Structure 1
Amino acid sequence: MGERALTVGDRIIVHLFGFGRFAEEFECPEDMCQSGISTATGKSRAHITLELNRMKEAGLVMERNAHVKGAKSRRKTYLLTPTGLAKFSEINNYLESLNIEIVENEISRFVTGNGAAEYLRAIFNLSKIMAVDRVLASGGILVVSQQEGAEQPEPRMKYLPPKPDDFQPRREMKTLISMLADDKTNTVILLGIPGMGKTTMLAQLAGSLEPGSAVMYRKLYSYDSAVSILTDMGDFLDDNGYPHLRRFMANPILFDLSEAGYMAKCAFSGKKLVVIIDDYEQAPCTLMPLLSMLTEMVNGSGSGLIIASSKRGDFYSLKNLALDRTVREVSLGPMEPEAAGKLLGSDNGNNKEYLKMAGGHPLTLKLLASGVGATTLAGYVEDEVLGKDTELSKMCRFVSVIRKPFLPDDLELGGFKAADQIRHNLVFEPQPGGGYLLHSAISSIMLAATGKRMLKELHLMAAEFYEKTETGTHEILHHLIHGDSMDKARNLMLEKGEELLSTGNPEELADAMELVLWEKEEKPQVKLLATRIFDHAGKWDRAEKVAREILKESPETQEAIMAGIIHANILSKTGDPKAALKVLDSIPKNRMKQEVRARVYYARASTLRRLGQNREALEACEKAIATAEKTGNGVMRGQCLMENAMIMSASGKHREALDNLKSAMALFSEKDSLPDLIRCRINMGMVMRSLEMYDEAAETLEMAVKMAEEAGLNRFRAHGLVNLTDLLNRKKEFKRSVKLSHLAIDIFSGLGDPLMQAAAMFNLCTASAGNGRKKEAIATMEKALSILEKKGLVKSKGSWISECADILRGMGEDELAKKIIKKYGG
């Protein structure tokens, strides 16, 4: 530098400084290869090769094999090391110390050497090296002649990653664009775990903006500084026709950040400017003032700052999000199944399994499509998504078996210091009702890669966790069973049977009981618990079998009376109420406890209602309510009130029925009896439908279906769907009815409930007819009637046959309607 000339090594350092942003990129520009460096520096390839080898030995540059655009194979690329960056700073400081006189059109002004170089680059489109060479050779005076009338370039993108060929549209795109169009919003935070497709989506967003919009894209690195980012911003301003701002951006010491932001804002006044910051989580805390400055740069509809991050930031507050809307969040969720399927490519027989494992995570889908196994995927998750954090990885592996939302403070009872990690790391997803769950893609990958022995240990750890936090008996049971601790699971079921029946998932409880029931050796009390659980889960064949064993082996016990009641209820629910009455009449009335007596009255009322004997049913139900009040059993009283409401509704007293259901709802809420709460909502929807309160009925049924789905109560979910689809048919929303009817049919088919399966099929028949699909409607109807006929249930459902005939007549099939009436009655 003493001779005021750049050496070959200096020229390489000046050239490579602008490519630090590609340090971790999959694809690099050719300018980072030997051929590109040779062209930029004006030296031969052989000379550059020798110089690069010397610089590697001196620790000024490092070599990396990378994909290069246009090349068929990976090539050697070069980057500056920290020592090389220090050397660049030395060159830069020297240029900054120079005082250069620029003479243009006989007007003279003084600038630094850097300022002179940037000015030459702006007006003559010179490379950085050529501009510095000319400054150093100027002797302190630059005489320039700028062409008049040069057109300013159109705004263009800077360093934006290309949109991949296999890109699949994401539903969040419309949300992003609408937020940018909002005058109140100047910053949008795009959140998503690594590999979720944030960068790809930003590339698509930039391509979909209005023509003429200026888009600056900048990926952040852990070693970034405000100077390096402002230097790139200066390049961006230069590219968009503002070369005079380049020097100020590259040398922020001349102005404070707010003034630099104001100057850029003025430059783009009246134009659309979108600044995109990617990988924000990599940013050092020293960049916070710079990010605040960027928010001041963007203004006006269509302009804005977009920050993509895999962690929640702390430079904006909840106040911004909730009140003034200057900052908005968009969480990038999983891909739609259809788009995910396209990303996997042709079906190789594993697509269904892959879709489940990936959880809609794009990069995981690509890796699976390329043949990567579960163990390799788990390694990728721990390295790339969890950042090789051993403690975080250990915690994620544990919570991968957790099904219910957990609180950070509760998790610390499991030995994890987790609070800050969970609240900021997006691999933990906040749930609508509070608490967090591990991201579905991370969870499924970790579970797939966990061996059987380790999985059992994790489940036993989870059971111990729930015992400590006292937040879920049903979860303790679930984890004990999956941890293969059957003796503990059995003891828990016997000790907490009543609690599990009122709060647990009936179908899971039934599966658990099958595993722990020692059928031939069990006492009547245990068998009765099993009968109640099987009945609750809709496994009526299994419940009847155990009930008959109790009646045969212990006929004079209270357990035998309860078994008889359950047997009668099953007969009534499955379409044989007359046989149910005979069973109830055979139950001995002496030595009967009050609670058992209330259940007998309740079962009789329910059976009589199904027979259409509403007056007798109401009398039995009133006795049930009075007896339940004496016992102090709030849930039993609520169930009796709910049955009373259904009898009143069947008698046309819908308003009184609705009042009773509200009273029952209060009792169930007080006792936290979730299954009864869902049943009560379904019944309320039915009564509201009878009152032609269609909107309120739809809202109530939707809520019941959602609650049942979240709790895993499939039978109640399907019952809610049957009532909801009937309501949708009345509202002529046939398209949605068809979709939900198919779902209800599938659930009832899996549960082995032919009566309700047929009911769902009749609703599907009505919806298909409403959509003008006559053949489908008739085929569905014939299948439903065949199911009823096989089970001997046709005669008990005369009203259904009449409705079928009405549907056929509505489709112009009068002759077929007559045949059905003649064959089945109605």
Structure 2
Amino acid sequence: MAGGRKKLTVKDRILLYLFRFRNVDPKMVAPPGLTQEGISSGLKLKRSAIPRALMSLEEEGYIESLLAHVKHFRRRRKVYVLTDRGIERAARLFEEVKDRKILVKTPEEERLMTVRELFSSDIPVGSVLEGINEGMIYVGVEEGRETVQYFNPLMEGPEVFVGREEEWGALLDLLSSGGGLMVCLVGVAGIGKSSLALRVLEEVGAKRDVFYLKLDSWTDLDWIVENLKRFLKERKEIIQYSNLYLNVEGAQNEALSIFEFLNGKGGAVLAFDDLHRAPKEVDDFLRAVKDRLAEWENLTVLVISRERPDFYDLRDEEVRGRVKLITLKGLKEEEAKLLLKSSSGGELDYEAVDKLLKATGGHPLALQLLRNRPLQVDVKRDISKMEDFLNREILGGLSDGQRQLLHALTLSTVPIGREEVSDHFGLDMGEVEDLLIRGLLVHEGGGLRLHEFVEGLLKERPQEEDLKRKWIKLLVERLKKDAPALNDEEMRFWQGTIYRWGEERPGIERSKVAIEISELLKLLTEIGESEEAKRLAMYSLWQEGMREPLLYLYERGLLEGGRVEDLYLRGEALITQGRTEDALICLLEAWKLSREREEDRYVINATLLRLLEIAQRISDEELYERVYRSLYSRNFHSLHWRHFLTARRCLYYSFRGQMDKMLTKLKMLAEDIATSDVPERFSGAFTMFTQSVENRDLSSAQRSIDAMLSAIRMDPSYYLYRTPYGTLVDICQTLLMNMEIYSG
């Protein structure tokens, strides 16, 4: 590189890129950046430029390829690493360019930085290597970080993907174009919509943030908002968003506010798959998004569905240019032949291929299902007739156990594990592999599920009760592992969660538990097990914070009984509907009834706690005192309850501005904690907090709260302070906030 001016070749850039991974051991878990897609994305180069350069470098002995477990991917994938010779070559390249100065431009300033400095900065390595050739790097508002890719569930493209060049190019251009656009990708089940979208999103993700969410019948707007907030968290913008949008009411308004925020922060591609499965409120939300796209020039929305969305209007496409429709149809002849050859790995019988094409209309799934199978019937080239065709051609050749498994899988949206297949359906692994080879089952989320086309074929048929009972048993076994507190006969609902400090459950796992509970509840009601359904609804409220099961039972008239349990659940359902006055009547009746005959003490405690909350909200001091005394006397001998209720009392006084009463109760609580069987680190921190409050030393009080959190993390066996109504530490934090308000 005489004079330091020679440009880096593609191979040079790959070597320098891989040089940063020289200490990674791919025999453990390799980062996605070592895959061909990761290298292309990291270098901001077209994927077509990468394979030839990698092959050349491998032939020259600078790199080697191997199969490795890659983070976020289920199957092993090919990764590329430097050989010893490659490390030496890359090190020499770095020595040649490390002192070269590059002009770095930002919206605020311009400055010169050396390549060495840039390699240690937050600027993506692809931009640095491009800057070496161009002599300048422009860092926009969001250029100083890697792009964020959020997929729920975590999805992979298909192992075999061929053809679709025209649709690929069109979709890639639309999603890369900037924003202010909604793209609707539609086609019949199994035609390849998701496969195409995932491949294109993977490429778009090199330059733009991508959000992908797979929809289903249970994915309401609250679920969408939760996932959008996780996306903001990964972009490190959740606090900034929360500070800007403080008083947004309603899930749709909150989701729209997040879209608005994203547009102002560099934008993103937001993809929603399987819209045809989603509830109407999601359709209404996307209609509202479409109507505001003219304001959001940095957002591109991708909607994937089996049919055109209800909100699609030809005028939006032809006149306003805000919506584009791409309809996937069967593969062309050459594409179909390439798919069959890739799938089978052998020579093709072209006469059989022609017959397949005529029978399936080029439908990708049907082609793979029927490869190497003699056709028994003659079907016209009409995909709409594929259901009858597949029913006779494919399902007719399965064993009774295989057919039973496929029918059972229509009852669930959660993938089934291989062990569950064996334990509950008696299938051996050979029969399972046969279903995978046929394409009737697919890998997803660490398990197996029906291909969406086959699911659509079977879902309309009523399932037998014994099959439902078998699936209920399977769901119960799942929940014993995923949410063991739901099966705890000695339930202490004040714990709120079985997860201890520092063991926060991943969002995707929480959603899995929510689905399992909802499916189990539905099946229990269908077979007439309403009492078990009520118990599940109550425990899922206490342990998982789920209110949907309550509404499901309430809307079906299953909470009309006269027991304490029925009245309590009905009251909670009414609260969910915003009918506080009606809920108060139900809960008071439950309390009255509980004094007349003995009922489950956990239900009574839950009833009284909810009454306590309502009394505080409506400022009924007399009711609050009565309920509080009842709760305290019932649970006085429980250390956990005594501490929790006293802390709640302190909080009540602080909200009413009665700081002297609050301080008196707080001192009593500190003394009780200090003389109880509580870890010394925690009790000491709480005593320090009480003294800080008494001295009005807010800084010291905050340090005491931090010390309490540290104590709980140090001794995770002591996690009683995490309750569904706020932890003791949360209460202390709220007390501190109230002190700041009154002292200000």
Same fold (TM over 0.5): no
The TM-score normalised by the length of structure 1 is: 0.26
The TM-score normalised by the length of structure 2 is: 0.29
Choose between structure 1 and 2: higher helix proportion. 1
Rg bigger for which structure? Answer: 1
